[in-house]
Structure 1
């Protein structure tokens, strides 16, 4: 498998630039908040981060495509950088710490580099295809992370983002059937739950609605940690509108419940 070490270095540089902006704007009294057509919030920090990342990529990877949450773009057939300047904007604007910048490089439709940077948690996760998944926190040395080895749903921890979203986009009853089959349920939400699957803290994370920029970096992180990543119908990939990440052992049992009815 070809190395993407240089691309990972670029992604980490993008994360550094993003962290500088987001930490400066977090809890700012003059934070500007607007609503997009889908009613989701966007702050001046979101657009500033994406613009800076696009500027860096134009300098160091001028031939690559870019797909971002705020400025758009296309998912090209070649190399495409897929970026979410602030995943968890609702948390960001309410003063909660559970937000992060997501950066992925996709080649031929497959994420090969992923970086998740959560400065308020003092954590950064990253992965390179064939190079494993890693976590650095609080200035400590990076450590390699792995998914859990929990073999049965009755011993599993499951998480989602918002229970109400299952009513609109999938089936609340199906998700609750999965919850009832598991030991414990949580709602860590957004990027964080998939990172926790990669760390082995959670065993399953499910989302009935998600965009490519929400998931590309997380797919390579989870799979390089030994897990499995698909949509809610079991189709591998990050660009099908839904997501299920797991330790692999529990993927098919979870799908069986989510697809019932």
Structure 2
């Protein structure tokens, strides 16, 4: 288990990211398309630069994997950063965006934090220490323990949401579950009992790292459709114990 200073540093990174991104929010920051067709804005780059500067001072020996700048250094300890997860909704003035920060040690996720700055909320976890929801201003003083309760509900009645590409093969499965559109944070919907499962198509490690640790620490399951929970495979299913294997089987049968 990582020490309290790592937890506090992760929250400090998110504090800085939230404050900085809110300065740009609603002000039409300059943006461009990346090679993969996704947008990146001056806000993404400003947040990333600020977080990298902090890590260079506080954890100079640690590696960093960040969405916009890739990997810096190689070490057993690696910070994983998505400066603004949800740049499209951020630029559109919606509320379903925030910052992702995770710490991985020896290939295992140890700390994960994701935020929703417009709501003043964040969700975080520490390996072996549970998963929590907090308001901004201190991880422990406002912490509320999270629990994903086991579910034996029939798959056809399960509340499921997801991150899907247009024309995704999973579209055919919508009619076989109770599809739920996300609120401001789909992962929080699972952690707080508003859905029983999530299907994630084509995400990246920096998108998924905090969510995977949060779900596992809250008692849920993460399935990469190959019997493991690798974050770099095309599909990932998060779900309540008892439902996740069935949901993964359904996705596997449709997506091939």
Name the counterpart of 2:162.
160
Could you tell me how far apart the structure 1 residues matched to 2:176 and 2:122 are? Answer: 32
Q: Does 1:204 align with 2:203?
A: no
Could you tell me how far apart the structure 1 residues matched to 2:235 and 2:151 are? Answer: 23
Please tell me whether the aligned partners of residues 77 and 109 of structure 1 are also in contact (alpha carbons under 8 angstroms): no
Using the TM superposition, name which of 133-142 and 231-240 deviates more: 133-142
CA RMSD between the two structures: 2.1
Please tell me whether the aligned partners of residues 230 and 244 of structure 1 are also in contact (alpha carbons under 8 angstroms): yes
Name the counterpart of 2:67.
69
Classify the secondary structure of the residue corresponding to 1:111: strand
Could you tell me how far apart the structure 2 residues matched to 1:91 and 1:165 are? Answer: 20
- Listed as ranges, the matches of 1:1-261 within 5 Å are 2-29=1-28, 31-73=29-71, 76=74, 78-137=76-135, 141-152=142-153, 153-162=155-164, 164=166, 166=168, 171-172=169-170, 176-177=172-173, 179-182=174-177, 184-188=178-182, 192-260=185-253
Please tell me whether the aligned partners of residues 122 and 136 of structure 2 are also in contact (alpha carbons under 8 angstroms): no
How many residues matched? 250
Classify the secondary structure of the residue corresponding to 1:164: coil
Long gaps (5+) in structure 1: none
Q: TM-score, normalised by structure 1?
A: 0.89
Please list every run of at least 4 consecutive aligned residues from structure 1 whose deviation after the TM superposition is greater than 3 angstroms.
Answer: 74-77, 137-140
Could you tell me how far apart the structure 2 residues matched to 1:75 and 1:209 are? Answer: 25
Q: Cα deviation per residue 1:229-260 (whole Å; 9 max; x = unaligned)?
A: 12233321222232211112111111211112
Q: Cα deviation per residue 1:122-172 (whole Å; 9 max; x = unaligned)?
A: 211110001110002487932101113331223311001235152xxxx23
